[in-house]
């Protein structure tokens, strides 16, 4: 790719991530278990479906999201579903995943990083949430599994004060060092959103970055049931 082409692609990424709503939509797509249609995304981020479609168009122009007709085996017009472009593909088609992460972090710092993380966490477990709440142990196990899927290499460690999750790897790597406050707020929000959506009776109280070399610690707290 030429230097001019790289600059043009970088400009499209900047534009795409220059709106907090598009950041929330991209976070929802990245956290989803599979492709989502515009109505599902709208429900997760609190926007009208037509507004979501407009934002998705910008994300697709920046090669951060893709669309396709839903596979179906019955008559009728298939829905259009959307997914986040894989990190490797985004790096190849835009200015690189590191640039994407840097821009995401910079705009989240201006917007609400924790809220974006909560939207991500809610979307990630939305299909598993039921009308009746899961047990707190099941919810914690699901969130630990979710962190493992995202590459955090988590380990649950009970303590006298409650539960802690030791995360021995940060998938954002150097980004966590350069934009620690923003990145950690996103990760804390991810856990908070997932636990809240599961109706867990457990909440993520705080996240301690690099509590020991290479290890971040999330503190979980059981919520007393109201009579």
The rounded Cα 46 to chain-centroid distance in angstroms is: 15
Instruction: Report the C-alpha gap between 163 and 222 in whole angstroms.
Output: 8
Local confidence band at 133 (pLDDT 50, 70, 90 cut-offs):
low
Is 136-222 a CATH 1.10.287 domain? Answer: no
Which segment of 58-62, 107-111, 157-161 scores lowest on mean pLDDT?
107-111
Residue 168 CB-half CA count within 13 A: 6
The confidence score (pLDDT) of residue 119 equals 75
For residue 117, count CB atoms less than 10 angstroms from its CB and return exposed for 0-12, middle for 13-18, buried for 19 or more. buried
Is 3-111 a CATH 1.10.10.10 domain? Answer: yes
Q: Is the pLDDT of residue 158 over 50?
A: yes
Q: Is the pLDDT of residue 1 over 50?
A: no
Across the chain, what does the average pLDDT equal? 76
Structure tokens at 192: 């908070």
Strand partners, 82: 36, 67
The confidence score (pLDDT) of residue 109 equals 55
User: Higher-confidence residue: 43 or 182?
Assistant: 43
User: Which residues, 6 or more positions from 142, have their beta carbon under 8 angstroms from its beta carbon?
Assistant: 125, 128, 134, 194, 198
The confidence score (pLDDT) of residue 209 equals 87
CA distances from 159 to 156, 189, 210 (A): 10, 22, 18
Instruction: Report the C-alpha gap between 187 and 117 in whole angstroms.
Output: 6
The confidence score (pLDDT) of residue 129 equals 57
Q: Is the pLDDT of residue 52 over 90?
A: yes
The domain segmentation of the chain, as residue ranges, is: 3-111, 136-222
Query: Which of 27-31, 89-93, 218-222 holds the top average pLDDT?
Result: 218-222
Structure tokens at 108: 């989240």
Instruction: Report the C-alpha gap between 118 and 131 in whole angstroms.
Output: 20
């Amino acid at each position: 790719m030429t230097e001019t082409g790289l600059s043009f692609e970088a400009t499209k990424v900047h534009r795409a991530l220059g709106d907090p709503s598009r950041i929330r939509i991209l976070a929802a797509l990245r956290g989803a278990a599979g492709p989502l249609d515009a109505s599902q995304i709208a429900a997760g981020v609190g926007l009208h479906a037509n507004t979501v479609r407009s934002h998705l168009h910008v994300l697709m122009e920046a090669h951060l999201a893709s669309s396709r007709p839903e596979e179906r085996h019955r008559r009728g017009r298939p829905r259009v579903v959307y997914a986040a472009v894989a990190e490797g593909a985004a790096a190849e088609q835009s200015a690189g995943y590191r640039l994407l992460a840097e821009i995401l972090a910079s705009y989240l710092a201006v917007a609400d990083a924790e809220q974006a993380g909560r939207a991500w966490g809610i979307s990630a477990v939305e299909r598993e949430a039921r009308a009746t709440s899961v047990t707190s142990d099941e919810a914690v196990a699901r969130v630990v599994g979710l962190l493992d899927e995202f590459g955090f290499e988590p380990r649950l460690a009970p303590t006298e004060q409650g539960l802690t999750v030791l995360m021995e790897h940060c998938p954002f790597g150097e980004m966590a060092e350069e934009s620690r406050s923003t990145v950690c707020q996103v990760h804390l929000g991810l856990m908070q959103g997932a636990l809240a959506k599961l109706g867990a009776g457990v909440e993520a109280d705080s996240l301690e970055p690099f509590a020991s070399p290479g290890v971040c610690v999330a503190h979980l707290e059981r919520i007393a049931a109201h009579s």
